[in-house]
């Protein structure tokens, strides 16, 4: 009886192995690998099955996005074989066969390589993610390419779990999501156009790195994330919800809805943000792109007041690009900066550098000429402080009558700006005066309706 029971258990175990899907390609399947993406023409490890699509040969294929943004491959399974679709020739090639004997070779020709030998080295049972699974070890030898040989391990029910190229080791898979079940450790995105966990950071092509350094409750009752440096929009205190990205207006001490997240192209958000100098943001393009090897939705916003700039937010990575335009703006930007990499919730994408050191405090007080000048109806007044001090910035007409107070507060050292909207004031010359400690300076500006 015991013998029959053991045989039954062994048979059930064997049946479970035989019936499992060796190479899962359901939409939503994800893998997470350690290490850096591979270099040169060799595709790196699979990242995610992003869609199922009908190709020109009349067959359906899974579109697999690869690590490091190295591209998309179209593959399908049939019985014990995996096929790859060739975009240029509109044909398919046999990629892997799992019913081979050891040392058997499949010769395949693909768009990427003119001739490749795929050799089944061995088959073994490996304990991975808490279960025993068959693992097939393939040697991929591209005949005409130097240093393009690599070894791939494929686990029953998981797919590719390890890649070793000829020029170094690509470490093992950390985790996967198969049929909605999480195996091992894998990071899944909580989609956010501005992920603001403390420690998140972004490195940019202008050499700066912005990091979320704190989370604080402000006097208006909202909690804001504090950034180490100003972001692409010029803000330093930011929060977000499902509707908008908000900035804290340090002058008026108010919450300003800045970027609309659930809108359509052409939607306009109007506001007055003296500390940043903008009057509205307009949703431009909304696109789905591949960034850092991930498929992400990107919204581009046009910010305009004194000058025009465009800021792009990704629903996975936050602020990823800025375009700066001259005044008046030409059809194309003068300067474009993009994110080279970011760290989101402990996961690194792209190339991230250390946090850019804050700019040193100015050596002395200064008051700059307003811009633009002449203006209608708004202009920006900038000044710098060498130390924390009480600041008074006021506007007077040509007769010396006070028209407006732009600042009456204690401010930290560094550069500051205040926006004045002349509104219903009469056209003419106005004077703005800065008093900071023992420093006093005044300048003239012209309002033309």
423: its two tokens = 């509104």
The domain spans of the chain are 18-184, 201-350, 366-447
**Two tokens, residue 56:** 């020109």
- Note the pLDDT of residue 6: 39
Q: What are residue 11's phi and psi, to 5 degrees? A: -65, -45
Least confident of 22-36, 68-82, 270-284: 270-284
Q: Which residue pairs, CB below 8 angstroms and at least 24 apart, start in 437-446?
A: 437/365, 437/389, 437/390, 439/365, 441/365, 441/366, 441/367, 442/367, 443/367, 443/369, 443/370, 445/369, 445/370, 445/373, 445/374, 445/375, 445/379, 446/373, 446/374, 446/375
> With contact defined as beta carbons under 8 Å apart, do 392 and 435 qualify?
yes
Band of pLDDT at residue 158, cut at 50, 70 and 90: very high
> What pLDDT, on the 0 to 100 scale, is given for residue 436?
92
As a whole number of angstroms, the distance between CA 330 and CA 335 comes to 12
pLDDT 10s digits, 114-147? 678 888 888 988 888 888 899 999 888 876 555 5
Task: Report pLDDT for 83.
Answer: 92
Of the listed ranges 3-17, 86-100, 433-447, the least confidently predicted one is 3-17
- How far, in Å, CA of 21 to CA of 155, rounded? 10
pLDDT at position 291 = 81
Mean pLDDT within 35-62: 72
Tell me the C-alpha distance between 73 and 359, whole Å.
Answer: 46
Q: Residue 402: what pLDDT?
A: 93
Average pLDDT over residues 226-249: 86
Residue 190 reports pLDDT greater than 80 = no
The pLDDT of residue 54 is: 92
35-38 contacts, C-beta under 8 A, 24 or more apart: 35/169, 35/170, 35/171, 36/68, 37/67, 37/68, 37/69, 37/70, 37/293, 38/67, 38/68, 38/70, 38/163, 38/165, 38/170
Beta bridge partners of 419: 380
Residue entry with tokens 């399947």: 29
Mean pLDDT, residues 346-368 taken together: 71
Q: How does pLDDT run across 287-344, given as a tens digit for each residue?
A: 888 887 777 889 999 887 655 788 999 988 999 988 877 666 566 666 788 888 898 8
The pTM score is: 0.46
The Cα–Cα gap between 200 and 192 comes to 13
pLDDT at 12: 36
Q: What is the pLDDT of residue 65?
A: 78
**Residue with the larger pLDDT of the pair 2 and 93:** 93
Output the pLDDT for position 312: 92
- In degrees rounded to 5, what are phi and psi of residue 35? 85, 175
Of residues 275, 305, 276, the one with CA closest to residue 393? 275
Please state the CATH superfamily assignment of the domain spanning residues 366-447 in this structure.
Macroglobulin (MG2) domain (2.60.40.1930)
- Distance, in Å, from the CA atom of 84 to the CA atom of 48, rounded to the nearest integer, reads 16
DSSP string across 301-369: EEEEESSEEEEEEETTTEEEEEEE--SS--SS-SEEEEEEEEEETTEEEE---PPPPPPPPPSS-EEPP
Contact assessment for residue 98 and residue 22, using Cβ atoms and an 8 Å cutoff:
yes
Q: What is the pLDDT of residue 197?
A: 85
Task: State how far the alpha carbon of 441 is from the alpha carbons of 62, 269, 371, in Å.
Answer: 67, 35, 17
**Closest C-alpha to 179, from 33, 350, 20, 333:** 20
The DSSP 8-state label assigned to residue 12 in this structure reads H
Give the contacts of 96 (CB within 8 A, at least 6 positions apart).
23, 81, 82, 106, 118, 136, 138, 154
Across 236-293, the runs of DSSP E, i.e. the strands, are: 237-240, 244-249, 254-260, 268-273, 278-291
């Amino acid at each position: 009886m015991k013998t029959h029971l053991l045989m039954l258990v062994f048979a059930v175990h064997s049946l479970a192995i035989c019936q499992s899907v060796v190479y899962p390609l359901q939409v939503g399947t994800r893998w997470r690998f350690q290490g850096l993406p591979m270099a040169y023409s060799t595709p790196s490890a699979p990242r995610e099955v992003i869609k199922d699509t009908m190709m020109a040969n009349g067959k359906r294929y899974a579109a697999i996005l690869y690590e490091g943004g190295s591209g998309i491959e179209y593959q399908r399974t049939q019985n014990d074989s995996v096929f790859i679709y060739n975009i240029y020739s509109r044909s398919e090639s046999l990629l892997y066969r799992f019913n081979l004997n050891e040392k058997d070779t499949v010769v395949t020709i693909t768009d990427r390589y003119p001739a490749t030998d795929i050799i089944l080295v061995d088959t073994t049972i490996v304990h991975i993610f808490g279960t025993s699974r068959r693992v097939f070890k393939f040697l991929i030898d591209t005949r005409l390419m130097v240093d393009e040989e690599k070894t791939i391990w494929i686990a029953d029910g998981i797919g590719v779990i390890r890649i070793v190229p000829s020029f170094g080791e690509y470490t093992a898979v950390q985790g996967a999501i198969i049929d909605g079940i999480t195996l091992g450790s894998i990071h899944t995105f909580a989609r956010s156009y501005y992920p603001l966990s403390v420690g998140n950071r972004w490195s940019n092509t202008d050499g700066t790195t912005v990091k979320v350094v704190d989370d604080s409750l402000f006097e208006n009752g909202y909690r804001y994330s504090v950034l180490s440096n100003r972001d692409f929009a010029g803000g330093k205190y930011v929060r977000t919800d499902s509707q908008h990205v908000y900035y804290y207006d340090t002058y008026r001490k108010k919450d300003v809805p800045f970027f609309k997240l659930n809108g359509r192209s052409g939607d306009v958000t109007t506001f007055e943000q003296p500390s940043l100098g903008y009057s509205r943001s307009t949703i431009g393009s909304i696109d789905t792109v591949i960034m850092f090897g991930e498929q992400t939705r990107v919204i581009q916003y046009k910010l305009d007041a004194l000058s025009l700039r465009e800021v792009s937010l990704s629903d996975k990575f936050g602020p990823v690009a800025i375009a700066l335009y001259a005044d008046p703006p030409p059809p194309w930007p003068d300067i474009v900066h993009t994110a080279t990499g970011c760290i989101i919730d402990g996961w690194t994408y792209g190339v991230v550098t250390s946090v850019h050191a804050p700019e040193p405090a100015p050596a002395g007080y200064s008051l700059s000429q307003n811009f633009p000048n002449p203006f209608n109806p708004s202009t920006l007044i900038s000044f710098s402080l060498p130390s924390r001090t009480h600041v008074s910035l006021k506007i007077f007409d040509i007769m010396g009558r006070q028209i407006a107070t732009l600042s009456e507060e204690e401010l930290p050292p560094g550069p500051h700006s205040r926006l004045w909207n002349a509104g219903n004031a009469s056209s003419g010359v106005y004077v703005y005066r800065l008093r900071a400690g023992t420093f006093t300076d005044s300048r003239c500006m012209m309002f033309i309706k």
